[in-house]
Structure 1
Amino acid sequence: MNYRHSFHAGNSADVVKHSLLIALVRALQLKEGALTLIDTHAGCGLYDLGGEQAQRTGEAAQGVMRVFADPHPLLDDYRAAVQAVNVGAEPKLYPGSPQVLAQLLRPQDALILNEKHPEDASSLRGAMRGTPAAVHERDAYELWLAMLPTRTARGVVVVDPPYEQTDERARITATLAAAHRKWAHGVTVIWYPLKDRTTHQQWKNKLRNLRIPKMLVVEHWLYDEDQPGIYNGAGLFIVNPPYAFTQALPPLLEALRATLAPDGHRGAIMADWLDRDGQ
C-alpha cells in the first residue's frame, strides 16, 4: 500500500492520529520536564486540501470536514490545531504531524523532523520556517536509532511511513526492537493503515513476540464489515503511553468513532494492550 501523506491529508486516519497525538503529548506535558519530539517520516508538514493530490481522493470530506461540521467538544483541541493554520471557518490547509507537534512545543521542548523524499523535505523546511524544528533528510530507520536515547530525559518518536515498501513492517519491527533496547522507557507511536485483518494480525503477532511490556493498540475500523481490497481504517501502536492519556482515552475514542462513522455504518474504534490481546 502506497500511503503518501499528500493524497490523504485530512482523512479519517489523520483525524484519529492527530487527535491522539495531541492528547498524548498534552498528557506527557503535565510534568514540567523537557520533551524531545521526533517524527521519522514527516512528509511536507502542510497540505493544500484544494490541491490536485488531495482532490484526487477527496478523503478530507470524510475526515476533517466531518469534525468541523459536527463539533464534538472532545475534538476541540484537534479543531484548534487545524484552525491554527487556516483563516476562515472552513479549513483550506491541513497541518501534518510536524505542524501539530510544533504547536504543542513548550520553551523547554525540542522537535526533530525527518523526511527522506527530497521534494517533500524541501516543502517541509518551508512549512516549518519560523519554528524551532530541526529538519533532517535521512533514512527514517537510521535516524530513529541514531537519535536514541534522546538528549532530554523524556521523548516521543512518531513513526508514520507511507508503506510503499514491501518490507516496511519488517523494518519497523526490527528497528523498534533495537530502539527499545536503547530506550526502554521512551514513548513510541507507530501509525499503520488497515487493509485486511489477516495481514495485520500476522504483524501484531510479530510485535507481540518482541515482549515489550507496555504497548497499546488503537484500531479504527470504518466499516461494520471489511471491504475487500480497500482501505478499511487505521491504527496506532503506542509504546509506554502515560497513565493520564490511557485514562482519558475511552470518551475521546467514542467521539472519534461517532464523528467519523461512514453513512450506514457504525464503525468501531478500540484500544487494548498488545500483550493481553489474544486475538
Structure 2
Amino acid sequence: MNYRHSFHAGNSADVVKHSLLIALIRALQQKPGALTLIDTHAGCGLYDLGGSDAQRTGEATQGVLRAFAGTNPLLDDYRAAVRAVNAGDEARLYPGSPQFLTQLLRPQDLLILNEKHPEDADTLRGVMRGSGAAVHERDAYELWLAMVPPRTARGVVVVDPPYEQTDERARIARTLAAANRKWAHGVTVIWYPLKERITHARWKEQLRKLGIPKFLVIEHWLYDSEQPGIYNGAGLFIVNPPYAFTQDLPPLLEAARAALAPEGHRGEIICEWLGA
C-alpha cells in the first residue's frame, strides 16, 4: 500500500491519528519538564484539500469534513488545530503532523522533523520556517535510532510511514526493538493502515514477542465487516502512554467512531494492551 500523505490528507485516519496525538501530548505536558517531539516521516507539513492529489481520492469528505460537521466537544481541540491553519471556519488546508506538533509546543519543548523524500523535505522546510523546528532529510529508521534517547528527559517519537516498501513493518519492528533497548521509558506512536485482519493480527503477534511491557493497540475499523482488498481503517501502536491519556481515551475514541462511521455502518474501535 502506498500511503503518501498528499493523497490522503484529512481522511478518517488523520482525524483519529491527530485527535489522539493532541490528547497524548497534552497529557504528557501536565508535567512541566521539557519534551522532545520527533516525527520520522513528516511529509510536507501542510496540504491543499483542493489540490489535485487530495481531489483525486476525495478522502477528506469522509474525514475532516465529517469531523467539522459534528458537534461533539471532545473533537473541539482537533477542529481548532485545523482551523488554525485556515483563514476561516472552512477546512481548505490540512495540517500534517508537524503543524499539529508545532501548535502544541511550549517554550521548553523541542521539535525534530524528518522527511526523506527530497521534494517533500523542501516543502516542509518552507512550511516550518520560523517555527524553530529542526528539519532533517535522512532515512527515517536511522534517524529514529540516532535521536533516542533525546537530550530532554522525556520525549515522543511519531512514526507515520507511507508503507511503500514490502519490508516496512519488519523495519519498524527491528527499529522499535533497538530503540526500546536504548530508551525503555520513551513514548513511541506508530501509525498503520488496516486492510486484512489476518495480516494485521500476524504483525501484532510479531510486535508482542518484543516483550515491551506498556504497549497499547488502537484500531479504528470503518466497516462492520471486513471489506476485502480495500482500506478498512487505521490504527496506532503507542508505547508507554501516560495514565492521563489512557484514562480519557474511551470517550474520545467513541466520539471519533461516531463522527467517521460510513453510511450504513457503525464501525468499530478496538483498544487493548498488547499481550494483555
TM-score interval w.r.t. the shorter chain?
over 0.9
Alignment correspondent of 1:154: 154
Query: How far apart are 1:89 and its partner, in Å?
Result: 1.7
TM-score between the two structures when normalised by the length of structure 1: 0.98
CA distance in 2, matches of 1:123, 1:271: 35
Matched residues in 2 for 1:270 and 1:128: separation? 34
Q: Assess if the C-alpha contact under 8 Å between 1:37 and 1:155 holds in 2.
A: yes
Moved over 2 A (4+): none
Task: Give the structure 1 partner of residue 43 of structure 2.
Answer: 43
* Post-superposition offset of 1:88: 1.4
Alpha-carbon separation, structure 2, partners of 1:71 and 1:145: 41
Note the C-alpha offset of 1:260: 0.3
Instruction: Provide the identity percentage.
Output: 82
Separation (CA, whole Å) in 1 of partners of 2:91 and 2:149: 37
Q: List gaps (5 residues or longer) in structure 2.
A: none
Residue identity in the other structure for 2:263: D
Would the aligned equivalents of 1:253 and 1:270 in 2 still touch at CA under 8 Å?
A: no
Distance 1:6 1:29 in 2: 30
Query: In the alignment, what sits opposite 1:275?
Result: 275
Q: Does the 8 Å contact 1:36/1:155 carry over to 2? A: yes
SS of the aligned residue for 1:254 comes to helix
Mapped partners of 1:21, 1:9: distance in 2? 16
| Deviation for aligned residue 1:210 | 0.1
Matched position secondary structure for 1:172: helix
Aligned to 2:171: 171
- Number of matched pairs: 276
Counting only pairs closer than 5 Å after superposition, residues 2-21 of structure 1 correspond to structure 2 as 2-21=2-21
Describe the superposition over 1:146-171 as per-residue Cα deviations: whole angstroms up to 9, x where unpaired: 00111000000000000000000000
**Matching of residue 262 in structure 1 with residue 262 in structure 2:** yes
In the alignment, the residues of structure 2 paired with residue 89 and residue 36 of structure 1 have an alpha-carbon distance, to the nearest angstrom, of: 31
Q: Which residue of 1 aligns with 2:34?
A: 34
The separation in 1 between residues aligned to 2:4 and 2:158, in whole angstroms, is: 16
- Deviation, structure 1 residue 270: 2.1
The normalised TM-score by structure 2 is: 1.00
Shift of 1:77: 0.4
Q: 2:93 — aligned with what?
A: 93
Q: Which amino acid is the alignment partner of residue 232 of structure 1? A: N
Q: Which residue identity is paired with 1:101? A: L
Helix, strand or coil: the match of 2:113? strand
> Cα offset for 1:71?
2.2
Provide the C-alpha distance between the structure 1 equivalents of 2:74 and 2:100, rounded to a whole number of angstroms: 17
Describe the superposition over 1:7-56 as per-residue Cα deviations: whole angstroms up to 9, x where unpaired. 00000000000000000000000000000000000000000000000000
Given residue 198 of structure 2, which amino acid in structure 1 is its aligned partner? T
1:145 aligns with 2:140: no
Asked if 1:212 is matched to 2:239, the reply is no
Q: Please provide the CA RMSD for this pair.
A: 0.4
Partner of 2:130 in structure 1?
Answer: 130
- Please tell me whether residue 120 in structure 1 is matched to residue 120 in structure 2: yes
